[in-house]
Amino acid sequence: MGKVLRGNHKRKFRGPGAVVEFCLLLAVVAYPTGKVVAASKPDFGPSVLLFNPSMPAAAIQEQIDKVYSVQQNSQFGSARNALLFLPGAYNVDVPVGYYTQVLGLGPSPDSVHITGNVHSDATLPRNNATCTFWKAAEGFSVTPTGGTMKWAVSQAVPFRRMHIRGDIVLHQEGGWASGGWMSDDLIDGNVASGPQQQWISRNTEWGGWKGANWNMVFVGVLNAPEGAWPTPPITKIAQTPIVREKPFLQVDAKGNYSVRVPSLRTNSSGVSWRAGSTPGKDIPIDRFYIARPDIDTAATINAQLAKGKSLLFAPGIYSLNDTIKVTRANTVVMGLGFATLLANHGVAAMSTADVDGVVIAGLLFDAGPANSPVLLEVGPEGSKARHAGNPISLHDVFFRVGGAAAGRASVNLRVNSSDTIVDHTWIWRADHGVNQSVGWKINTSANGLVVNGNNVTVYGLFVEHYQEFQVVWNGNGGRVYFYQSEIPYDPPDQASYTSAPGTNGWAAYKVADHVTSHEAWGLGVYSVFRNKGVVLTRAVEAPHNPNVKFHDLITVCIGPNGEIGNVINNTGGATTPNVRLTPKVTNFP
């Protein structure tokens, strides 16, 4: 996202040497252990801090503050951190900075209870949170100081399995924010979205919700807000048709670590953990290989996968000279602290076989300087197997081309396997960054997402700034619940941004002409053209077929230049600059 209010903001950050020195300093600090700490605690590396309730609150607070001092404004920095809380009660304040994941390690969010401020703050002037990315809060309960938790966020900010014993606001003092995600959460009080431009909530419960701006989507939510599209711009789907909640790390009363892989849920509403723990299976931690960025390569990781291990990536940046190949059914691949897989020499960072039950969660895929044909490929080209009973699933899987360094990738995520579930993704060709990493001919990428498999379901699809179609859907039976896309800011002229004779630009969402069934709910497409004389003919292109259906679409021209001529095909009418006219379509066809 990159609102015109924001501009191109560059942040200073400490170099890698300083970060390593800092992390090692934290790693050697020792405190008394509590009841729930195993003698054989896994080695998660120096960037994972593990807290237990017997530690002095001041000592915990000191470590949290040191992490935040590095990550508060480090939008394109190299540090990655995970803050892990063993079951028990804590009285601390937790500011959550960039590339920081805060995790409770209990079977239920109520196993870890924090009394104090847990908050995400805006990082731009005038309380602007449109650049607040890559941070997470998962698996614990909060009694917020003053009764209200502040969570001012935009893209790539998972908020999962949380219990807020009070209210929550999704902005900072009325400043702009630009999209976010809630799932499997219980909010005892009310949610105030304020100027949030768009939002998706899935399988969440609350006392009430207030606010709607451009595109608010609620799937399987109990006590969803009143009203319906287009006034207010609210989309409600009573039940989530099929989903697997994200796997999570946990510790039992004896100090044994495991990963809970939740069971598949169908036609569900509300949280998964009402009866205590989320239903599913536990995989002991010794069946995981814990990868380290200072030790491992694609070769060492692939060797462990070949032995039948699942993967847990410790926080850090993994510079890959080959593809990580996930070939066995039911393999779980998880990242802690926004572990980042950097594709070098034009390789794909990761691929999977066309097998049942692979789960990929909590990873950031980053393009390297040589063009990669794809960053993550789910199933090989031509995959034909069905996986309806045990689908492949992706959770909080994020992609970046440019921003921290120049990067190139033809396609970011390509899904060839049928029945795949994508549960929250931000696929981003950077519109701003550091180190001369952004430009029409610098961070090049054609497509964010290409779907070739059938019956693929996506919740929370954020795809932005790609140079051709943001999304290309070739498979039948696809379903998308919430779509947010800014088209590229930087086409230098119309000739550089023309997909076919008589068609200006590339649609943000393209359903191929041969597709006979598809359905999507809650789509917002926005333009911020930096150069004059550039327009987009239509936001969405789809075949005219009664089984290709769209519900609740909006287009917005945020800046002073250009327009989007129609919402979908030749329907909806044109935007006007500076958010003066925002065309909406309720149903198509």
Closest CA to 552 of 135, 255, 215, 249: 215
**What are the φ/ψ torsions at residue 557 (nearest 5 degrees)?**
-100, 110
Peptide bond into 232 cis (omega under 30): yes
Q: Give the count of beta carbons closer than 10 Å to the beta carbon of residue 441.
A: 10
Q: Which of 486, 519, 541, 563 is catalytic?
A: 486
CB burial of 400-431 (b: ≥16 within 10 Å; e: otherwise) equals: bbbbbbbbbbbbbbbbbbbbbbbbbbbbbbbb
Burial of 146 (0-12, 13-18, 19+ CB in 10 A): exposed
* Contact partners, residue 372, CB within 8 Å, separation at least 6: 343, 346, 347, 348, 349, 408, 409, 410
Closest CA to 210 of 202, 223, 219, 583: 223
Instruction: Region of 173 please: left (phi>0), alpha (psi -120 to 50) or beta.
Output: left
For 317, 340, 408, the CA distances from 16, given in Å and listed in that order, are: 11, 14, 23
Single-letter residue type at 291: A
Tokens read off for 190: 């009310």
Q: Answer yes or no: are the C-beta atoms of 147 and 112 closer than 8 Å.
A: no
CA angle 56, 62, 67 (to 5 degrees): 135
Max CA-CA distance within the chain? 70
The three-state DSSP-derived secondary structure of 98-147 is CCEEEEECCCCHHHEEEECCEEECCCECCCECCCCCCEEEECCEEECHHH
Tokens read off for 562: 């250009």
Whether 541 is catalytic: no
Q: What amino acid positions are annotated as catalytic residues? A: 486
